[in-house]
Structure 1
Amino acid sequence: MKEISGRQFAERFALSPHSYAWLLGAGASASAGVPTGYQMIQEFRTRLFAAESGIGLREIDPADPIWQARIDAHHVRLGALPPKGDPLEYSRAFESLHSTPEDRRLYIRNQVSKGSPSLGHKVLGALLSTRRTPCVFTTNFDPLVESAATHAAQLLPAGDRALPTLAALDNAARAETCLRESEWPLVVKLHGDYQSVELKNTDEELQQQDGRLRLVLTQSLQRFGLVVVGYSGRDTSVMDALRSVLRDPVRYPKGIYWLCQDPDRLLPAVR
């Protein structure tokens, strides 16, 4: 893995932005006010600790190192959750706290309602609405990318604007049509949209990545390079798809750029 600076990437990207697809994870929505996967894990662990220990949630300060140590010791003692930092930690903790798909869907809707497009979303939305970026794939449930693109499009003359096609688990045919006919721009919600009946959150659900959307992802990466932002690589379904492209004769023609603040914190699966 070769490291380059943010400025070097920006200069390279600016030469041919239309040559890259994007993959966004939860970190891409953090500055927009949507809790990250790590923040949700901390919330799940705290609420489970409160329920299992009989301590009132209001009495707990999860930001206090003393409380953090108590919470960690509690979960280590019970052994019901994977170790901290384990790729399965999010899905297991989420399922332990919200056992039904309906409850998990309601929780996600409440979380994404806290967000509004950040500067990054607005820039990406402008790239989509001007056809400078062909497609964005995201594991997020929020509508921030498409909202930003729609807003940016309204600032353009009617004949110049492009509105992205939105595809999720319940309408994969839209993505297939865009890929087949090169009808860009396209936004694909790999794990579902917050308004969808189907959402993928737990380990079992994530392992059952929709085959049709996975194919759209892998075939797109035979045409474009990939820029990854805010994605940890925790779920094997998406990571397996990214790795499978490496076996194709034509793959990532513009390379893969995994944007991060600290390369040493990347999961082994990413490295």
Structure 2
Amino acid sequence: MIDPFLSMIFSFANNKGSYALLLGSGISRPAGIPTGWEIIQDLIQKLAQLNNEKIETSPEEWFVKKFSKSPNYSDLLNEVFKTSAERSNFLKQYFEPSETEREQGLKVPTKAHNAIAKLVKEGFIKIIITTNFDRLIETALEKENIVPNVISTVDNLKGSQPIIHSKCTLVKINGDYLDTRIRNTENELKKYENEFIKLLDRIFDEFGLIVCGWSAEWDIGLRSAIERCKSRRYTTFWVSKDTISSSAKKLIESHSAEVMSNTVADIFFTELLEKTKSLIEVEKQHPISSKIAIATSKKYLSDSKYNINLHDLIFSETKKIIFDLSSGSFSAQGNFSQEEFLRRVSIYESKIEILLNTIITVSYWGNTSHLSYIIKCIESVANSNSIEGGLVVYINLKKYPALLLMYAAGISSLANNKYDYLKSILVDILVTFEHPHEPLVDKILTYTVMEKDVAVMLPGRNKQNYTPFNDYLASFFQPFFADYILDKNKFYSLFDKFEYVLALIYADITETGNYGFWAPAGSFGWRNRIYSPDNTASIVFQKEMDKLKSEHPILKVGLFNGSMERLIAVKKSLDDFINGLHWR
């Protein structure tokens, strides 16, 4: 059984800023903060006292009988207190600590709030959605010198900073306690304004979700927003202290969420902070190193007089990778465990980070004189493996660095429409450490590195994913290309195009014999098929073919024998094969 917390730690750390928090009343309850409904009941009690009446039934029943309508937070406040100053002073007792309460640790940020603020400071969290009216999150963030972009009404939503540019956006979906327009009744919680609906739809589509302290029972509009979201870019994680409500169970089931039950918010967020920081520190290069490598690569690319310097930069990093791969840290011997598997994945990724950034930069900006450096680099890493016994999962994983380099160079080349680079990387590089010697595209594929039953253990992946490894790679590479492609969806389209073209080239150069057609399926097989069928990788590439015809650069570099007829035939076979896989 895969430990959901361990899986979440790796996903959270490796997809920095890609997860939003959804916090319910359960996170503020330990601080002694009442729920909105509890405040309403207390207000009714006070209203009964003003009327010199004693409540024999429940406060709600008394109110309905007395006023012939359901209790409403705003109406009650306006009924009892006539000025905004009076209302504000009254509400402070529920949300702001007295000296005694402060000494007792009540109505002040909990360990969970403080850990969340530190995670925001470190850049791991950018979006927080909360149903709570209190200001404990704001107070905790203030301690870390962070001023969040707070959205609690349509008015401040319209004038708010775009979430992509904000260090932290705090969406108080039900309002703030100092604003009487908060949502509290069933009707108020049932439907949001269109502006809020659009904001929630965007967040739930673009970000993963970590839910804590929320029952999903009363916030019908919020529940509907989650139900509307069909995106599965990241796994949803659901943290629950007590019994999970039926409404929450439906959301968990529909989104294949990973559940962490019997978990207290203070402990959960404290461990999330500590273990995430530990994971980042373990085997992690100093982050400035990659930035320096990118800047240095660009400088060396600017003038041919730096060609030797660029060559040496690439190969000094290549030698480091090959040396690390040959160390005992990656022996295929021993027992398998999920923790060890994820540790190896993380170390491979951290060690090759600088080289990936360098190869991406050179593949995008380089000219023909620089191509040989890339070929030599990838070829050296791909052939550094030695045949040995041991666990197949660890033997296959040794190919991971070569796969990462192939994807980095291939995606970057395609981003700049450099099919000459792409052909050389996929076809001209030969893998020679085992027989027969074959092109890189035939030997280093996702399934040769990691089978699906292993890939589901990767951060943010699960058994419901059709292509867990490919999906993971798309999320992994997106930050590397952030300086080239700002829009995440456009990057995913580029990623799908690369995997689609890779599959076409694979099919073109391999012989299927008597076993029928086969090619590596990627995320392109399922992405956009239902919700945007005109934007699948197959359709997008077909439009290119229709427009460019025999002038398409994939033919100009000699692939498919330079024949449009050959390309059309292979593409039809690939599309038929992919469609026959019965994606849901």
Counterpart in the other structure of 1:254: 234
Counterpart in the other structure of 1:98: 76
- The 1:243–1:129 alpha-carbon spacing in structure 2 relative to 1, beyond 3 Å, is same
Counterpart in the other structure of 2:135: 143
Q: CA deviation at 1:49?
A: 10
- For the pair shown, the structure with the greater C-alpha radius of gyration is 2
Counterpart in the other structure of 1:178: 162
Q: CA deviation at 1:214?
A: 2.5
Q: What do the CA deviations read for 1:148-177 (whole angstroms, capped 9, x no partner)?
A: 111113xxxxxxxx53211210301244x4
Give the alignment of 1:67-82 within 5 angstroms. Answer: 74=57
- The 1:44–1:174 alpha-carbon spacing in structure 2 relative to 1, beyond 3 Å, is same
Counterpart in the other structure of 1:130: 122
Unaligned 5+ runs, structure 1: 58-70, 82-91, 154-161
Counterpart in the other structure of 2:247: 268
- The 1:38–1:200 alpha-carbon spacing in structure 2 relative to 1, beyond 3 Å, is closer
Q: What do the CA deviations read for 1:19-73 (whole angstroms, capped 9, x no partner)?
A: 2001111111112221246865886898899999x65x8xxxxxxxxxxxxx8xx
Residue 195 of structure 2 is aligned to residue 203 of structure 1 = no
Paired AA for residue 125 in structure 2? T
Counterpart in the other structure of 2:200: 217
Paired AA for residue 124 in structure 1? I
Paired AA for residue 203 in structure 2? S
SS in 2 for 1:18: coil
Stretch of structure 1 that moved more, 39-48 or 130-139: 39-48
Paired AA for residue 113 in structure 2? H
SS in 2 for 1:254: coil
Paired AA for residue 27 in structure 1? G
How many pairs does the alignment contain? Answer: 229
Flag the structure with more relative contact order, 1 or 2, with Cα contacts below 8 A and sequence separation at least 6: 1
SS in 2 for 1:148: helix
Residue 151 of structure 2 is aligned to residue 167 of structure 1 = yes
Q: TM-score, normalised by structure 2?
A: 0.34
- The 1:18–1:51 alpha-carbon spacing in structure 2 relative to 1, beyond 3 Å, is same
Give aligned-pair identity as a percent: 24
SS in 1 for 2:206: coil
Q: What RMSD over aligned residues (CA atoms) do the two structures have, in Å?
A: 3.9
Considering fraction of residues, name the structure with more helix: 2
- The 1:102–1:208 alpha-carbon spacing in structure 2 relative to 1, beyond 3 Å, is farther
SS in 1 for 2:210: strand
SS in 1 for 2:237: strand
Residue 211 of structure 2 is aligned to residue 228 of structure 1 = yes
- The 1:38–1:168 alpha-carbon spacing in structure 2 relative to 1, beyond 3 Å, is closer
Q: TM-score, normalised by structure 1?
A: 0.67
How many angstroms apart in 2 are the aligned matches of 1:3 and 1:44? 47
How many angstroms apart in 2 are the aligned matches of 1:11 and 1:5? 10
Q: What do the CA deviations read for 1:5-31 (whole angstroms, capped 9, x no partner)?
A: 555544543443422001111111112
How many angstroms apart in 1 are the aligned matches of 2:2 and 2:130? 23
Paired AA for residue 19 in structure 2? Y
Q: What do the CA deviations read for 1:132-162 (whole angstroms, capped 9, x no partner)?
A: 2111011111111121111113xxxxxxxx5
SS in 2 for 1:204: helix
Q: CA deviation at 1:206?
A: 2.0
Counterpart in the other structure of 1:60: none
Paired AA for residue 164 in structure 1? P
